[in-house]
Amino acid sequence: MIIHTAKFVKSSPDYRKCPEPKKPEYAFIGRSNVGKSSLINAITNNRKLAKTSGTPGKTQLINHFEINEEWYLVDLPGYGFAKISKVMRAKWEKMILDYLFKRVNLMNTFILVDARHEPQKLDIELIEWFGANQLPFTLVFTKSDKLTKKRLNDSLQRYKNYLKQDWEELPAMIVSSAIDKLGVEEILAQIEAANQLFFEAQK
């Protein structure tokens, strides 16, 4: 798929305030600093579209970007940074879980995990939650440019072994790098296929 246009639409504090759910959409979720906003920029080939930062917690609202005037990419605020109060965490959970459950045009969620790390508790909890609620997702391993091929393979294998304990079938997985633009084509191919389903169902 070729990206012709990518524009910021709005930031919303909850799913009810998001744009009308008339176009298919795809959310990016994951630990703070994992590279959600950077990957959105790599996909759209626009380094300034989603705000990125070395400081965790940059993205705090649900951000919609309209692509080719046909579908949305959604940048969600990250979880898991140290300096967060219980109240903030509960607020994040309500905002995000409501969005994931109730957003009717949400076709798929890309769950991002850092390719360098072992499976982390919060990431696993989120993945399990998607599974338990039968919500579709793709696991994306970010920042692969920071690893040698061997260490990347070891890391992926470790994740797969871990998931196999609970999952009969492994979820879809993509290795990405916002710097090398790795994984972008695969993500776009998944989106294109899901878009077709959405538009078919509308006919």
**Binder of residue 33, out of Mg ion, ligand GTP, none (CB less than 5 to 8 A by kind):** ligand GTP
Looking at the DSSP bridge assignments, the partners of residue 66 are 7, 72
109 touches Mg ion (CB under 5 A): no
38 binds ligand GTP per the rule CB under 6 A: yes
Q: Which is nearer to ligand GTP, 54 or 201 (by Cβ)?
A: 54
Q: Which does 177 bind (CB under 5 to 8 A by kind): Mg ion, ligand GTP, none?
A: ligand GTP
Q: Measure CA of the first residue to CA of the last residue in the chain; give whole Å.
A: 22
Q: Site map for Mg ion, 21-40, x if CB under 5 A?
A: ---------------xx---
User: Per CB under 6 A, does 34 bind ligand GTP?
Assistant: yes
Size of the site for ligand GTP (CB under 6 A): 24
Binding mask 65-94 for ligand GTP (x = CB under 6 A): ------------xx----------------
Instruction: Select the span of 1-9, 91-99, 150-158, 174-182 touching ligand GTP (CB under 6 A).
Output: 174-182
DSSP letters of the chain?
-----EEEEEEESSGGGSSPTTS-EEEEEEBTTSSHHHHHHHHHT-TTSS---SSTT---SEEEEEETTTEEEEEPPPB--SS--HHHHHHHHHHHHHHHHH-TTEEEEEEEEETTSPPPHHHHHHHHHHHHTT--EEEEEE-GGGS-HHHHHHHHHHHHHHHHTT-SSPPEEEE-BTTTTBTHHHHHHHHHHHHHHHHHHH-
Return the residue of 14, 70, 145, 186 that touches ligand GTP, per CB under 6 A.
Answer: 145
**Interacting residues toward ligand GTP by CB under 6 A:** 30, 32-38, 52-54, 56-59, 77-78, 142-143, 145-146, 177-179
**Interacting residues toward Mg ion by CB under 5 A:** 36-37, 58-59
